[in-house]
């Protein structure tokens, strides 16, 4: 090997080494999901109008559940129903707060979970209730009941209410591009799992109640 070739070897090796060190940085594998990567590449936020409508509607949906579950002590509910109601109040208030934070972080309107006009389907007339929501007549019927009668009506109506929430999740999941946001995905998964298991529990509780009228 000539002296000039020998002298050039350190330079050549240095260039190769520098290229090898730089390669991992330029060839990093993205840890984003394909949908999230596409949203990042396009500059669009990783949520859809359907996601926003779901979050907005579910705040009111949860709000009604918290309202009627809060009646248990004043309506002489049985011990097992009171325990269930306490769990519903705590769990759904936590989810309401999370959904409100999600909307607020995106500078979107944040509904009041207790506002009667918010209980309609987003974008629909005020007479079009979301799936599972209790009507004014059902709310009045439940409010008038006491003791075992309240327990029976509460379980019947809350099963209806939970089934409606699951329907809302199914409707959202049927929309292309929905639930790609991490919190959206978690809340919809929690509604499906938690409210599905609570429906099973409430059906068993309802079957175990003694027969009788709704105002006992």
> 129 phi and psi, to 5 degrees?
-75, 155
Mean pLDDT of 42-50: 74
Residue 124 has pLDDT above 70, yes or no: no
pTM, rounded to two decimals: 0.75
**Mean pLDDT, residues 142-165:** 98
Q: Which domains does the chain have, with CATH numbers?
A: 34-208 (1.20.1260.10)
CA–CA separation, 105 and 67 (whole Å): 26
**What is the predicted pLDDT for the residue at 174?**
96
pLDDT digits (tens, 9 = 90+) for 105-123: 999 999 988 776 455 555 5
* CB proximity list for 179: less than 8 A, separation 6 or greater: 51, 172, 173, 185, 188
């Amino acid at each position: 090997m000539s002296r000039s070739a020998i002298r050039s070897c350190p330079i050549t090796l240095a260039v190769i080494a520098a290229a090898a060190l730089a390669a991992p940085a330029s060839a990093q594998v993205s840890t984003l999901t394909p949908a999230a990567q596409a949203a990042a590449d396009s500059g669009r936020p990783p949520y859809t109008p359907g996601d926003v409508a779901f979050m907005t509607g579910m705040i009111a949906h949860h709000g009604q559940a918290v309202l009627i579950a809060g009646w248990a002590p004043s309506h002489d509910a049985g011990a097992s129903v009171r325990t269930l109601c306490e769990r519903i109040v705590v769990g759904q208030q936590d989810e309401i707060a999370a959904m409100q934070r999600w909307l607020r972080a995106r500078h979107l309107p944040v509904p009041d979970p207790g506002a009667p006009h918010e209980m309609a389907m987003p974008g629909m007339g005020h007479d079009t209730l979301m799936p599972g929501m209790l009507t004014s007549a059902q709310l009045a019927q439940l409010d008038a009941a006491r003791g075992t009668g309240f327990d029976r009506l509460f379980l019947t109506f809350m099963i209806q209410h939970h089934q409606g929430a699951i329907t809302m999740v199914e409707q959202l999941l049927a929309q292309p591009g929905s639930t790609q946001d991490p919190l959206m995905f978690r809340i919809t998964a929690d509604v499906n799992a938690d409210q599905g298991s609570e429906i099973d529990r409430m059906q068993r509780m309802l079957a175990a109640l003694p027969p009788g009228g709704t105002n006992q």
